[in-house]
C-alpha cells in the first residue's frame, strides 16, 4: 500500500457494498463524515448551486423538489430541455432504443445518426454533419474545420479567426480562446491561439481586423451569455459580404439559439443569410448529451478520414432522442407557436418594464430566448424569483434570461410574469434604493 487512498481501496474496492464501507474502519468513516458535512466535497468546486434545493423529477415546464415543492422552470437547463421535462415521446424514444443498442463508436454505421444528419441538412444550408456530445465540442469542430479548409486548399497561412466581444463558445481551451473573455482565459491561455476579437456589432472594426492570415469569422446570431442580444440584419448581411469578398468562412454558433429556440429551426434563418459552418447542441438532444457541426460540402470535404473524431458522437441513444426532437420541431405550427409565445412573453415583460422603470430597463431577444435588462442587480432579482419558485438565468449586460420550454403553455407564461410582478412589487423599491446607494 503506497497511500492512504490505496489503504481505503483495499477495504472498500469496486465490488464492496455499503455495508462493507460502514464497518471498514477509519478511512471510510472519515470519508463518510466529510460527505455528511458537504455532499459536494467530492466534486470540483467549479459550480455553486443552492444547497437547499434538490430536484427529484420534472414534468413539462415544472420541476419538483424532494419535499414536493413545485418550481416553474424558465431556464430549461440553459436552453436544453426544449420540450420540457419527461416528454412522453422523448422518454419512449430513449427507452425503446435502450433495449437494442447503446453504443457502437464510429467504427461502425449508426443508422439513426445517418437519418438525423439527413434531416438536419434537409432543413438548413449544410451538406454534411459531424456529431459531438456538447456545444464546446461542436464549436471546436467548426473552428478546426475552418482552418482545415484553408490548409486543404494550400493556404495554411490563413489560420486566424475573428470573434465578437461578449461571445461564449464553450469552456475548452480553443473555445475560450475564440471568445476571448479575460475572466475565462486568465490562467489558462498563455497566448492568443490565433483568435482576434472585435466589438460586437461593429462592422467597420470587423473589416479592419481582417488580414491575409484571416481564415474565418465566428458569431452567435443571438448572443446568449453576452446579453441575449440579436445582431442586426444589416450587420449579418455585412459580415456575409465581407467573408465572400475576402474568401474567408463564416461560422454561426447556434448552440443556444438554434433548434427552434427563436421560432425558426435555426436563428440565422431570420436574416436570410447562410453560413459555411454551424455549431449546434443543447436543444438538439432535449437533455440527452448531443451536439453537431454542420458544414457545406466544400468545408466538410477538407475533413477527411482521421482529421477529427469522437468516441460517443452520434451514438444510438442520442440519435434516437434527437430524431424525436426533429419530429416535434417539424410538426405543423410548432415553430410558429414558438414565435407567438415569444411575442406574448415579450409583451408581458415589456409591461413590467413600463410599470417598474426603477428596477427594469428593456426587453430583447427572439422567440423564446428573451432577456430583461435590469436596473437593479440581476443576481438579486434571480435569487428572489427563485425564492418564489420561478427559475430564470442571468447573462451579461445585467440581464435576466428567460428560456422556457418551446411547448410552454400560455398559462405558465402568465404565471411566470405574475410571480415576477409580485416580487418587484414587494422588493423592487428596496432593491432600487440599495442600488442607488451603492452607485453614490
Residue ranges of the binding site for N(2)-acetyl-L-ornithine: 171, 310
Yes or no: say if 201 and 233 are a contact pair by the CB < 8 Å rule. Answer: no
Cell of 339: 414565435
What SS3 state is found at 243? helix
What SS3 state is found at 53? coil
The annotation places the binding site for pyridoxal 5'-phosphate at 135-136, 168, 253-256, 311
At 280, which helix (H) or strand (E)? strand 277-280
Could you tell me which of 140, 149, 161, 113 has the C-alpha nearest to residue 304? Answer: 149
Residue in the structure block whose three cell numbers are 423592487: 428
- CA-to-CA dists, residue 270 to 218, 314, 339, angstroms: 18, 28, 11
Cα torsion angle, 39, 42, 43, 44, sign: positive
Q: DSSP characters for 281-315?
A: -GGGTTTS--EEEEE-HHHHTTS-TTS---SSTT-
N residues, the chain? 440
The annotation places the binding site at 135-136, 168, 171, 253-256, 310-311
Yes or no: say if 65 and 54 are a contact pair by the CB < 8 Å rule. Answer: yes
Alpha helices (runs of H) in 180-249, residue ranges in sequence order: 182-185, 203-209, 233-246
Sorted by sequence, the CB contacts under 8 Å of residue 259 that are 6+ apart come out as 82, 265, 266, 280, 282, 283, 284, 325, 329
Amino acid at each position: 500500500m503506497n497511500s492512504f487512498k490505496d489503504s481505503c481501496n483495499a477495504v472498500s474496492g469496486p465490488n464492496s457494498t455499503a455495508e462493507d464501507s460502514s464497518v471498514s474502519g477509519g478511512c471510510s468513516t472519515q470519508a463518510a463524515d466529510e460527505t455528511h458535512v458537504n455532499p459536494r466535497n467530492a466534486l470540483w468546486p467549479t459550480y455553486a448551486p443552492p444547497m437547499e434545493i434538490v430536484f427529484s423529477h420534472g414534468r413539462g415546464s415544472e420541476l419538483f423538489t424532494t419535499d414536493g415543492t413545485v418550481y416553474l422552470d424558465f431556464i430549461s437547463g440553459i436552453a436544453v430541455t426544449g420540450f420540457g421535462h419527461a416528454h412522453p415521446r422523448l422518454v419512449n424514444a430513449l427507452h425503446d432504443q435502450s433495449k437494442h443498442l447503446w453504443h457502437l463508436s464510429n467504427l461502425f454505421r449508426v443508422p439513426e445518426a445517418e437519418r438525423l444528419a439527413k434531416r438536419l441538412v434537409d432543413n438548413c444550408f449544410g451538406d454534411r454533419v459531424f456529431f459531438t456530445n456538447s456545444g464546446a465540442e461542436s464549436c471546436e469542430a467548426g473552428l478546426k474545420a475552418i482552418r482545415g479548409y484553408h490548409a486543404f486548399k494550400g493556404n495554411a497561412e490563413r489560420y486566424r479567426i475573428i470573434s465578437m466581444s461578449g461571445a461564449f463558445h464553450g469552456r475548452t481551451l480553443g473555445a475560450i480562446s475564440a471568445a476571448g473573455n479575460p475572466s475565462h482565459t486568465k490562467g489558462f491561455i498563455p497566448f492568443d491561439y490565433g483568435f482576434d476579437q472585435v466589438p460586437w456589432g461593429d462592422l467597420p472594426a470587423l473589416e479592419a481586423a481582417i488580414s491575409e492570415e484571416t481564415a474565418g469569422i465566428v458569431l452567435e446570431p443571438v448572443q446568449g451569455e453576452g446579453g441575449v442580444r440579436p445582431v442586426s440584419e444589416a450587420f449579418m448581411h455585412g459580415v456575409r459580404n465581407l467573408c465572400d469578398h475576402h474568401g474567408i468562412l463564416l461560422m454561426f454558433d447556434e448552440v443556444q439559439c438554434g433548434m427552434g429556440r427563436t421560432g425558426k429551426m435555426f436563428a440565422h434563418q431570420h436574416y436570410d443569410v447562410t453560413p459555411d459552418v454551424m455549431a449546434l447542441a443543447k436543444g438538439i438532444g432535449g437533455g440527452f448529451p448531443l451536439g453537431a457541426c454542420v458544414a457545406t460540402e466544400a468545408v466538410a470535404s477538407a475533413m477527411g478520414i482521421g482529421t477529427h473524431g469522437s468516441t460517443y458522437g452520434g451514438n444510438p441513444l442520442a440519435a434516437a432522442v434527437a430524431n424525436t426532437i426533429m419530429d416535434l420541431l417539424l410538426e405543423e405550427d410548432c415553430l410558429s407557436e414558438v414565435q407567438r409565445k415569444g411575442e406574448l412573453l415579450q409583451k408581458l415583460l415589456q409591461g413590467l418594464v413600463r410599470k417598474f422603470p426603477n428596477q427594469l430597463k428593456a426587453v430583447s431577444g427572439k422567440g423564446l430566448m428573451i432577456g430583461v435588462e435590469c436596473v437593479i442587480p440581476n443576481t438579486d432579482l434571480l435569487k428572489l424569483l427563485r425564492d418564489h419558485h420561478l427559475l430564470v438565468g442571468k447573462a451579461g449586460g445585467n440581464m435576466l434570461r428567460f428560456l422556457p420550454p418551446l411547448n410552454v403553455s400560455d398559462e405558465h407564461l402568465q404565471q411566470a410574469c405574475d410571480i415576477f410582478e409580485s416580487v418587484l412589487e414587494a422588493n423592487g423599491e428596496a432593491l432600487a434604493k440599495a442600488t442607488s446607494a451603492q452607485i453614490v
